[in-house]
């Protein structure tokens, strides 16, 4: 008769296993499932970054066309300034998102700087954790949430 516990013969511990699944992204972070302050889902995040790329390209095309580093520098400056001052880039704000530290409050100066540098490297932005946070957000201690 099975008791629901693993026996010592199985080589398994009688302690319950730590949960590896979570019900929704952001649950581990104490965020709600839906609504304000919930972790932003990929669709809104992608829409936001596309808006940011579009704004950056428009500025580049109007004033700096031909300079190979200008578009990346414009993108980085817009990310840093808007996240620092308004808790979100132009694209984030247009998509109804905000960038916030895990504990809430103001992002400060160094978190947006680190996030922007890592975002410009691109690879950290495409590596996501279970909470749908890019590596650039994880390493800078930030999370993108719905406004």
Q: What is the pLDDT of residues 76-106, one digit of tens each?
A: 999 999 999 999 999 999 999 999 998 889 9
Judge if pTM exceeds 0.75.
yes
pLDDT in tens, 100-144: 998 889 999 999 999 999 999 988 888 988 888 999 999 999 999
Instruction: Give per-residue pLDDT as tens, 24-59.
Output: 888 888 888 899 989 999 999 999 999 999 999 999
Distance CA 101, CA 6 (A): 41
**CA-angle at 115, arms to 112 and 121, nearest 5°:** 140
**Cα end-to-end distance, the chain, whole Å:** 53
Give the CA radius of gyration of the chain. Answer: 20
Task: For residue 147, count CB atoms less than 10 angstroms from its CB and return exposed for 0-12, middle for 13-18, buried for 19 or more.
Answer: middle
Q: Distances in Å between the alpha carbon of 96 and those of 28, 39, 140?
A: 22, 12, 21
């Amino acid at each position: 008769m099975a008791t629901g516990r693993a026996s010592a013969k199985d080589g398994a511990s009688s302690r319950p296993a730590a949960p590896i699944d979570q019900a929704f992204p952001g649950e581990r972070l104490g965020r709600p499932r839906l609504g304000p302050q919930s972790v932003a889902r990929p669709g809104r995040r992608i829409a936001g970054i596309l808006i940011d790329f579009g704004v950056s390209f428009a500025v580049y095309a109007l004033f700096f066309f031909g300079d190979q580093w200008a578009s990346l520098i414009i993108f980085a400056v817009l990310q840093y300034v808007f996240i620092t001052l308004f808790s979100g880039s132009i694209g984030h704000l247009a998509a109804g998102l905000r960038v916030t530290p895990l504990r809430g409050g103001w992002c400060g100066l160094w978190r947006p700087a680190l996030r922007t540098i890592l975002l410009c490297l691109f690879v950290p932005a495409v590596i996501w954790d279970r909470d749908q946070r890019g590596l650039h957000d994880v390493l800078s201690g930030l999370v993108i949430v719905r406004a």
